Amino acid sequence: MYLALTGQASRHDIIRDLWDGSSETRVVNYAKLSIRKLRAALQDHLPFNPLPFENNLYALAPTLNVSSDAASLLNAEHSTDPDTLRRALHGHATPFMPTLEGEWAEATRERLLSAAQTVGLRLMTQVDLPEAAATARHLLRLDPLHEGTYLALLDAHERAGDPVGARGTYQEYARMLDRELGTRPGATLRDRYAPT
């Protein structure tokens, strides 16, 4: 997955990102062994070297067709096609490799969460209210504090002519802000959905 997302990397880069940059001999040897085992496991089923090492860089062979929900999500970030957005978003149901630790893993999780939010918010502008609400629930499972999701759901209720649903979404959003951040929605939203 690392090489599928990064394209190519040196042994140093791989150890830095997947083994927290340890220069201990045992870690370096374990990294080398892991790479050899991966290559051997793949090569048993392929007529070519799936993991070439050229110019001090590892990469996936161009003829090795690798697809992942992570790559699909990143590619969908630039799409406006509802089907592409839908497939990519629903392929990202949980955080990326949640048990993997380290800076690279955390940065990748953040990058994919951002892509999911971009894809989901774009999808919400193109679909009917029930699908927009389902998409919002999906996004809120990934990040319960994401303000943009609540605001997009408010817009979806408004577009559908559903003031009751919009007020309910506003109230849920206001409760979340109060509980999690100790703040309130902005004055414009308060004036619109919770006039005094």
All structural domains of the chain with their residue ranges: 2-59, 69-193
b/e per residue, 96-105, with b = 16+ CB within 10 A? beeeeeeebb
pLDDT at res. 44: 84
Q: Tens of pLDDT along 145-189?
A: 999 999 999 999 999 999 999 999 999 999 999 999 999 988 888
Give the pLDDT band (50/70/90) at residue 119. Answer: very high
pLDDT digits (tens, 9 = 90+) for 54-81: 999 999 999 988 889 999 999 999 999 9
Q: Is the pLDDT of residue 22 over 80?
A: no
Mean pLDDT for the stretch of residues 45-55: 89
Average pLDDT, the chain: 91
Distances (CA, A) of 125 to 60, 108, 111, 119, 162: 37, 26, 22, 10, 15
The average pLDDT across 125-138 equals: 96
| Higher pLDDT pick, 89 / 65 | 89
DSSP sequence for 18-79: HSTT---HHHHHHHHHHHHHHHHHHHTT-SS-SS-EETTEEE--TTS----HHHHHHHHTT-
pLDDT band at 132 (very low <50, low <70, confident <90, very high): very high
